[in-house]
Each structure stands twice: as structure tokens, then as C-alpha cells.
Amino acid sequence: MSQRWLILGATGLLGPCFVKEIKDRGYQAITAARSNADVCFDLSDQSQLHQTLEDTKPDSVINCAANIYVDLCENDPAGSYLLNTRPLSTLADWSRENDKPLLQVSTDHYFTQGGNNPQSEDAPVDLVNEYARSKYLAEHLALTAPKALVLRTNIVGAQKGHGRWVKESLLNKAPMTLFMDFFASPLHVQDMARISLDLAQKQANGIYNVSSRDVSSKGEFIYAVAKAMNINPDWVIEGTGHQLATKRAMCLGLDVSKAESTLGYQLPTLEETAKKLANEAL
Ligand SMILES: NC(=O)c1ccc[n+]([C@@H]2O[C@H](COP(=O)([O-])OP(=O)(O)OC[C@H]3O[C@@H](n4cnc5c(N)ncnc54)[C@H](OP(=O)(O)O)[C@@H]3O)[C@@H](O)[C@H]2O)c1
């Protein structure tokens, strides 16, 4: 496998897990973000991306950088395109011209039909907001390179975002409305990095779902985390994801059988993911 990895978006929720996993495997990790990284630049600026690829000469690139905030993307579609989508054209050119792997971290935010049934990689998509549009187009740009691996996922971790909110809210008995009609297959970020690198090691390319192997509602997942934390969440309210300001796709459970077949092992369960989040220090 490649020795020198450039990790774009290395300082967010997921990026640091890739950095750690790469170093643990004995490879070199070059981190990139707008600040606090080996290379600091704005990924929306294509000339700076070109320069970074030229200067760092990576063997593989992982792109974890994105504007993940659905409401912000909705209010700034052009900015969202420049960060979430446009760089993938440059990265795919780099991958093709140098015959090197490109890992694009994508999303599960594409499915409005099917309730809690798992969605396969070729399930029909329904793009209901700018975030989904920007990420879906990015997949297509990435896939113009034969060595592109597009990783569709739903991630949680205690350091940031939804997973941190869940843990803090449970610990503080904060008011919570649990969405019982919004389905997903959350995977812990550490498992996401490990499994994605295993797929890269197998020289997988194309689209792969990388998530937990179970589908649950957002509410069921929070109940599972509460159980793993020995907390009785008797104050929470059950509700609907339809109340969110920007429209969401809500049938986001992923079918991981393709990844399991390529890897020859089972991906984590909902319970394992909930336990991992529960046991992770804030
Ligand atoms: N979090 C989720 O729930 C979730 C679910 C499914 C899929 N995903 C996907 O997983 C990937 C990683 O998500 P995450 O949760 O780790 O995101 P995150 O925590 O928001 O991290 C984003 C990273 O991108 C960098 N970044 C942001 N704007 C940038 C810019 N203009 N130029 C250069 N770097 C920039 C950030 O650092 P600076 O701000 O310092 O630049 C940070 O390192 C994304 O592709 C996302 O679409 C996330």
C-alpha cells in the first residue's frame, strides 16, 4: 500500500482518525486544513490545491474536507459547490494522471424512500438539499478516476457533532427530541477510518457503503447509547425529523454487504457503535 498519505480536512471529526490509523500502520500522514495542519490552505482555491499536490507529492489522497452543515449549504450553494464538489475534479485529474488512489468521503444523504430498509450502492437517489447535491456531484467527479474509492457513510464520535451532542445531552439531562422516523446506520469514526483503509488496502474502487450493519432510527440509536451509558432517558420526547428547517432525506440506512464481501469480515453492529460512543471520552 502507498506510503505517503495526504489527508484533506484532517482536523475535523473524521480526519484525525484517518491520521492516527495511517500512522499506526507505519505510513506517513500529511495533514491539510485551513489551520492547525501541516499544510494550511482553503480547499475552495483550486490553485492552492494544485500547489499542495505538487509540493507534497502524496501516494494517496483522502478527502474528509467539506461543509457538512446542511443549513449553511442551503444558504450558500455556490460556496458549498466550491468546497464540497469542485476540488474533486482536480483530485480526480491528479489520481488519473499519477495512477494513485483517491479516497472521497461521501455521505448517505440521498434516500427518501424505503423506511428502515438498507440502501445498496445502486439504490435510486433523491437529492433534496444543496448539501446532498454538492456531495453527489463530487462522487461523480471523483469516479472519473479509475482509482477513486467513494465511501458513503454516516459517522459519529464523541469529539464533535451529533455524537458529542447525544452524549452531552444524556449526561446533562438536557431536553431532547428523538426522531423516530429518520433512519440511518451510524458508524464510529475510528471504525470508519480502519475499515476505509482496509478497503484501500484491497485496492477497492467505485462506490462502497461503509457504515454499521444495522439500520435504526435516530431515536433508537440514542436509546442504545443511553443504555450503554447506564442512563434511563425518561425525560426525552419522541418526535419527527420533518420538523427540521432544511428538508432532509430520512431513509439513510446503508447495506454494507458489498464492503463485507470485499473485506471478508462483518462491519460493526448498532450496539457495538453505541457502546464505542458511550465509552469514548468527551
Ligand atoms: N459528520 C457527519 O455526521 C457526517 C456524516 C456523513 C458523512 N460525512 C462526511 O464525512 C466527511 C468528514 O466530515 P467531518 O464530520 O469530519 O467534518 P468536520 O468535522 O466539519 O471537518 C471538516 C474538515 O474540513 C476542513 N475544512 C473545512 N472547510 C475547509 C476549507 N474551506 N478548506 C480546507 N479545509 C476545510 C476543516 O478544517 P478547517 O475548518 O480548520 O479548515 C476540517 O478539518 C465529510 O466529507 C462529510 O461530508 C460526515
Cell of 93: 485529474
Q: What's the rounded Cα separation, in Å, for the pair 200 and 179?
A: 34
Rounded-to-integer distance, Cα 125 and Cα 55, Å: 38
| 20, three cell numbers | 492516527
Closest residue CA from atom 2 of ligand 1:
155
Q: Closest ligand 1 atom to the C-alpha of 160?
A: 19
Query: Does ligand 1 come within 6 angstroms of the Cβ of 83?
Result: yes
Amino acid at 219: G
Start-end of H helices in the chain: 15-24, 46-56, 70-75, 77-80, 87-98, 130-142, 161-172, 189-201, 218-228, 257-263, 270-279
Q: Which three cell numbers stand for residue 181?
A: 422516523
Half-sphere exposure of 253 (CA within 13 A, CB side): 21
| Overall size of the chain counted in residues | 282
Would you give the DSSP letter of residue 241? G
Query: 267 near 205, Cβ under 8 Å?
Result: no
Q: Please give the distance, rounded to the nearest whole angstrom, from the Cα atom of residue 192 to the centre of ligand 1.
A: 14
The reply to whether ligand 1 has any atom less than 6 angstroms from the CB of 10 is: yes
Burial class (CB in 10 A: 0-12, 13-18, 19+), 118: buried
Each residue's pLDDT, cut to its tens digit, for the chain (282 residues) gives: 559 999 999 999 999 999 999 999 999 999 999 999 999 999 999 999 999 999 999 999 999 999 999 999 999 999 999 999 999 999 999 999 999 999 999 999 999 999 999 999 999 999 999 999 999 999 999 999 999 999 999 999 999 999 999 999 999 999 999 999 999 999 999 999 999 999 999 999 999 999 999 999 999 999 999 999 999 999 999 999 988 888 999 999 999 999 999 999 999 999 999 999 999 999
Give the residue among 153, 109, 111, 150 at the shortest CA–CA distance from 131: 109
Q: What's residue 112's pLDDT?
A: 96
Extract the C-alpha cell encoding 161: 457533532
- Give the residues across from 217 on adjacent strands: 183
Superfamily grouping for domain 4-279: NAD(P)-binding Rossmann-like Domain (3.40.50.720)
Q: Whose CA is nearest to atom 3 of ligand 1?
A: 155
**Could you tell which of 14, 149, 187 is best to mutate to test the pocket of ligand 1, judged by most ligand atoms within 8 Å of the CB?**
14
> Could you tell me which of 255, 150, 144 has the C-alpha nearest to residue 206?
150
What is the predicted pLDDT for the residue at 113?
Answer: 96
Which of ligand 1's atoms lies nearest the C-alpha of 152?
7
Domain ranges (residues) in the chain: 4-279
Residue 243 is predicted with a pLDDT of 82
Give bridge partners of residue 188 from the DSSP assignment: 156
Alpha carbon of 8 to ligand 1 centroid (Å)? 9
Q: Give the number of the atom of ligand 1 that is nearest the alpha carbon of residue 109.
A: 6
256 lines ligand 1 (CB under 6 A): no
Alpha carbon nearest to ligand 1 atom 21, residue: 12
